[in-house]
A = this chain, B = another copy of it.
Amino acid sequence: MTVPSKTDHVDVLIVGAGPAGLMMAAWMATCGIKTRIVDKRGTKIFNGQADGLQCRTLEILDSFGIAERAWKEANHMLEICFWNPDETGAIRRSGRIPDTIPGVSRFQQVVLHQGRIERFFLDYIESKSPIRVERGVLPTKLEFDESLAEDSDAYPITVNLRHLSEEEATPKQASTAANGSCVQDGLFRSNLAADDTAELLRTSELNAKANTEEVVKAKYVLGADGAHSWVRKELGFSLVGDSTDYIWGVLDIVPITDFPDIRSRCAIHSANSGSVMVIPRENKLVRLYIQMTTTEKIGDGGSRADRSKITPETILASAQKILAPYKLSYRKLDWWTAYQIGQRVGTNFSAKERIFLAGDAVHTHSPKAGQGMNISMQDAYNLGWKVSSVIKGLSNRSILKSYERERSGIAHALIQFDHKFSRLFSGRPAKDVMDEEGISLEEFKDAFEKGNLFASGTAVDYEASKIVAKSPEATNGANGVSAPASLEGSKTTPAVTSTQSLASNVKVGMRIPSTKILNQSDARPWHLQERLPSNGTWRILLFVGDVSISEQKQKMETLCKSLSGSNSFLKRFTPSGARYDSVFEVLTVHAAKRTDVSVLDFPEVLRPYDELDGWDYNTIFVDGESYHEGHGQIYETFGIDPKVGCAIVLRPDQYVSYVGPLEDYETVDKFFSDFMIPQN
């Protein structure tokens, strides 16, 4: 081991290059933040692992321009079929529901394995920045000078990094996504994509640096290093919760079967042999989650059951029993594992808002609902823009407190969901209506339907804070679950109050819904969310209403006079020399007839002029009928009266900060003045 030879200074150090770490790196790449990202493993993963993609996750991937790759490669899972014992005890199909609730998003839940998502992020990060994942790099020491936490110029965190040899950096690929405990697995790599081969070859480059050590000083650190998080342990934080006795086997196979619904998601409860969940995947694969025990444990281990006796053969045998009289076999096995459900949440998500934890480092749960990778990425999606904004000197550090509150709320909601879902799924089906201990089909189906809204990711509802100007009477917290009382200290309150009724379906604290609008200048239809890419800017959405009515036009002009004033928040908080839309982007959606107005009829602040490019033709939209794709009816969908209108403030992550009267400039100014830093 050599003595550390150099000290590097970075704004952000990310530990762990799984979905959460890569999402953070994607934000940093987008916002131009000096960042390093390290992972102790020598390569990314290529098969197995988490594979469900929520609607909301696809919306987020789309905001970075990478959803279409996922959408194209993924298996689209449209339908859930329920199979239950009939009166003779044989399984039969008892119902079908859509896998995604129609209308909640322009995307539907799809299935694609984690390694591909990582590939899309790696390509994105490479295209946007010099940031590259450094593999085979192990952090060995972490020091945090808390006294410097509030000093913007300081690098209060010091981390030692050791470069591993190829051998050290190549652990056997193993199932750690669920809760960090694995037995063994196959590694067939039938899923290996052409664009991943370069990655495999690169591992041989590791040895050049092997056994060197260096010191990195960072302003911020993210621990996205999984269920066994080193960062979490260094901070002395822990995961709190239980593991159950249920043991599940997982097979990723190309099935040969006469079971008719093998390409649908299926929840199969046998009378006496346990349950199977079928998840059809890409490349003809099907994932089977197979219940290996009902109440007893296998082997004679302690409180954690002994899973070493489980093999693909024993898992298949269990599946065959559950699926009988249908036949099931395979010739291709891509991956397999066995796990025990553990449900735990981190005690803390942050140390002084300088070191953060995300993903499996702060929540573990069962994989069957396909939530893990999604919630992990969404943790980092919530955090990235906040950290960037503070590092760039645009916002003060007070906004960072919202990370822990918002995401610990979600983590607790997730565990509640998972707890209920797992119990239902692992339980014995009711024999008849008199069987009170068994789980009735109705109870199960009902829970599934409710669960689907949670599982879509679109129901997340952040509580009031400096950056969520929720009315006091609004319900708080994600899906009704708030951050735990132990985190009370990080609670903040908004400087202003929204008028939610002006846009009754655009809930403050939730992500903005989406429907189609037309570009005024060229009649092209866009989904509103497509105009909200994740680039770090706040959006002021002006629903100016029907501007052919003179009152509406007057309100718009009054507002625009303030907006274009030399002391408006648009100018005060935008660095001089920066482009007019680099901190705030003003987007207008009107409700007049498109052919009655032109872009040039709108005040210039709504369609700014650039010396080289002329007027901006991409900021004025209309609620109108498209030539080929129908009518989005955004005013009706959003619950906005075209004769009243409203102003909406969106965070850079598409969550709604504020809804208020169109003409009320002052409140919006006050909202931003509470946490943004005047420039110049």
Contact = CB atoms under 8 A, between A and B. Distances in A.
Contacts of A301: none
A78 B264 contact: no
Contacts of A284: 613, 617
A68 B71 CA distance: 12
Interface in A258-298: 258, 260-264, 280, 284
Interface residues of A, number: 46
Contacts of A342: none
A76 B258 CA distance: 46
A600 B260 contact: yes
Interface in A167-203: 194
Nearest to A71: B68
Contacts of A127: 194
Contact of A522 (B79, B519, B522): B79
A628 B102 contact: yes
A284 B612 CA distance: 11
A667 to B, nearest CB: 34
Interface in A41-80: 68, 72, 75-79
A257 interface: yes
Interface string A593-613: 001001110000000000111
Contacts of A598: 260-261
Contact of A255 (B255, B257, B523, B614): B614
A563 interface: no
Contacts of A72: 68
A523 B260 contact: no
A521 B255 CA distance: 14
A330 B69 CA distance: 37
Contacts of A522: 75-79, 263-264, 280
Interface in A649-665: none
A500 interface: no
Contacts of A255: 614
B628 A100 contact: yes
A77 B523 CA distance: 8
Given A254-B614, A256-B614, A611-B331, A78 B599 contact: no
Contact of A614 (B98, B257, B627): B257
A643 interface: no
Nearest to A595: B96
Which of A521, A522, A612 has the most B CB atoms < 10 Å from its CB? A522
A304 interface: no
Nearest to A107: B628
A519 B280 CA distance: 14
Contacts of A599: 260
Nearest to A598: B260
A617 B521 contact: no
A623 to B, nearest CB: 16
Contact of A258 (B257, B263, B332, B600): B600
A524 interface: yes
A329 to B, nearest CB: 9
B102 A627 contact: yes
A76 B521 CA distance: 12
Contact of A68 (B68, B79, B261, B521): B68
Contacts of A263: 519, 521-522, 617
Contact of A98 (B98, B194, B260, B627): B627
A348 interface: no
A108 interface: yes
Contacts of A98: 627-628
A572 to B, nearest CB: 29
B78 A524 contact: yes
A72 B255 CA distance: 36
Contacts of A523: 78-79, 264
Nearest to A280: B522
Contacts of A102: 627-628
Nearest to A331: B612
A261 B96 CA distance: 50
Contacts of A521: 262-264
Nearest to A601: B260
Contacts of A280: 522
A414 B223 CA distance: 63
A35 to B, nearest CB: 21
Which of A258, A260, A263, A280 has the most B CB atoms < 10 Å from its CB? A263
A173 B331 CA distance: 56
Nearest to A519: B263
A258 B614 CA distance: 9
A533 to B, nearest CB: 13
8 contacts: A68-B72, A77-B522, A78-B628, A98-B628, A100-B628, A260-B598, A260-B600, A262-B617
Interface of A: 68, 72, 75-79, 96, 98, 100, 102, 108, 127, 194, 254-258, 260-264, 280, 284, 331-332, 519, 521-524, 595, 598-600, 611-615, 617, 626-628
Closest 9 CB pairs of A and B: A260-B598, A256-B614, A263-B522, A263-B521, A98-B627, A78-B523, A79-B523, A76-B524, A331-B612
Given A100-B627, A280-B522, 16 more contacts: A77-B522, A78-B523, A79-B522, A79-B627, A102-B627, A254-B613, A254-B614, A256-B614, A257-B614, A262-B521, A262-B617, A263-B519, A284-B617, A331-B611, A331-B612, A332-B612
